[in-house]
């Protein structure tokens, strides 16, 4: 029978990087907060990458300022919850998952925030069959991921916090400030044990959707995840993630990948900044975010096209349609932005004539 753990489309971080986590735990002789699997130093090393003294290579999970990771990790060792804030595609969810995996060995205690997230998802619900049969009891209670994390001393995650309705958001206040979750129906409570904390993520673009109350915001230490600072840094991020996704999707390694990744990242960075890389030409910015995550998606889709419908080499034509789809979100405004960029920048760029032809062809 196929091993279901290795055959899943996307493994949890604690499964995919189990060997690295085990190697770090074996070599980690630094003080650990209670119920942490690794010390804060080892958690940061797991996120940022490095080489252990036995030669084990820890791959970087996050490429960015070291201080950002250090502040995030130390926050979780205090009584403050952590809020990861940033524009779409800055790896907030990715960092959240890997922090929980390294600290608790479990990244699955997750509440996904949406406009319809009910209070039960944050507090607890009921098994109504048992509730009707036996009345309110511990056996009839269905704990939320947060409640389970409190009882076990683990890290809980709340994704897209600002998408959750304000009254449901405020259910977190008592949990974060008093470290307890009252259960008035049973006249009891669940108290958080050492090791419990919360990582929430929020999108800069969602400010005003369900803005956090000042009371709730005070319970978080906010860490802003920036966009990659340089072209090389973003190319490195995209390359690593595309390789990981390619292995997961069983796509072959294709020639031409390095060149097309650099092109996609260059296009995205220039349109985000409104300025070409050499600083000489201003360009209009489209309505979309053109995030690193979208660049990863564009290249991965291009690899699939090249592998299944092309000649096995990743070419400009394989990524051009994806780039256009990411840029042109508003047909009325973004189409003109893209056309001006292609004719004013891409056409004149040395070595980009194949991309220019592919962009014109796919725009028809």
Residues 6 or more apart whose Cβ sits within 8 Å of residue 224: 68, 85, 86
- Return the H-helix or E-strand segment holding 120: helix 119-122
Chain segment 300-352, per-residue pLDDT in tens: 999 999 999 999 999 999 999 999 999 999 988 999 999 999 999 999 999 99
Cα–Cα distance for residue pair 159/1, rounded to 1 Å: 35
What pLDDT does residue 4 have?
Answer: 46
Residues of the chain below pLDDT 50: 1-4
The first and second tokens of residue 246, run together, are 């390619």
What pLDDT does residue 264 have?
Answer: 97
Cα–Cα distance for residue pair 344/339, rounded to 1 Å: 8
Chain segment 176-196, per-residue pLDDT in tens: 999 999 999 999 999 999 999
Q: What is the mean pLDDT of the chain?
A: 93
User: What per-residue string of b and e applies to 262-298 under the rule 16 or more CB within 10 Å gives b?
Assistant: bbbbbbbbbbbeeebeeeeeebebbebbbbbbbbbbb
DSSP string for residues in 128-170: HHHHHHH-S-TTTEEE-HHHHHHHHT-EEEEESGGGS-HHHHT
Q: Which among 16, 22, 13 is positioned nearest to 52, based on CA atoms?
A: 22
Q: How far is CA 219 from CA 81, 179, 200, 222, 253, in A?
A: 6, 11, 11, 9, 46
3-state SS, residue 201:
strand
What pLDDT does residue 211 have?
Answer: 87
Cα–Cα distance for residue pair 37/28, rounded to 1 Å: 10
3-state SS, residue 103:
helix
What pLDDT does residue 364 have?
Answer: 59
The first and second tokens of residue 123, run together, are 């507090």
């Amino acid at each position: 029978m196929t091993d279901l753990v290795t055959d899943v489309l996307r493994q949890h971080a604690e499964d995919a990087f189990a060997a690295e986590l085990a190697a770090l735990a074996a070599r980690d002789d630094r003080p650990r907060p209670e119920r942490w699997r690794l010390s804060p130093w080892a958690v940061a090393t797991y996120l940022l990458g490095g080489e252990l003294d036995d030669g084990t290579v820890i791959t970087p999970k996050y490429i960015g300022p070291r201080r950002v990771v250090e502040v995030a990790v130390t926050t979780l060792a205090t009584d403050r919850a952590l809020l990861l804030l940033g524009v779409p595609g800055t790896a907030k969810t990715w960092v959240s998952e890997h922090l929980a995996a390294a600290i608790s060995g479990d990244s699955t205690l997750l509440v996904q925030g949406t406009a319809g997230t009910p209070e039960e998802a944050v507090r607890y619900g009921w098994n109504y069959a048992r509730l009707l049969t036996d009345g309110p009891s511990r056996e009839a209670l269905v704990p939320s991921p947060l409640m389970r994390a409190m009882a076990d001393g683990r890290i809980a995650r709340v994704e897209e916090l600002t998408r959750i309705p304000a009254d449901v958001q405020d259910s977190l206040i008592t949990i974060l400030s008093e470290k307890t979750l009252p259960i008035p129906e049973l006249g009891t409570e669940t108290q958080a044990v050492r090791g419990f904390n919360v990582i929430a993520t929020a999108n800069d673009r969602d400010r005003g959707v369900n803005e956090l109350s000042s009371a709730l915001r005070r319970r978080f230490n906010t860490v802003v995840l920036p966009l990659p600072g340089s072209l090389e840094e973003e190319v490195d991020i995209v390359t690593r993630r595309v390789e990981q996704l390619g292995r997961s999707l069983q796509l072959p390694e294709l020639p031409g990948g390095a060149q097309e990744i650099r092109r996609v990242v260059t296009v995205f960075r220039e349109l985000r900044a409104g300025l070409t890389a050499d600083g000489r030409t201003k360009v209009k910015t489209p309505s979309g975010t053109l995030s690193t995550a979208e660049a990863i998606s564009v290249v991965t889709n291009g690899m699939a096209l090249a592998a299944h419908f092309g000649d096995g080499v990743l070419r400009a034509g394989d990524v051009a349609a994806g780039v256009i789809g990411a840029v042109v979100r508003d047909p009325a405004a973004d189409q003109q932005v893209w056309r001006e960029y292609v004719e004013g920048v891409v056409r004149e760029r040395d070595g980009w004539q194949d991309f220019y032809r592919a962009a014109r062809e796919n725009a028809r």
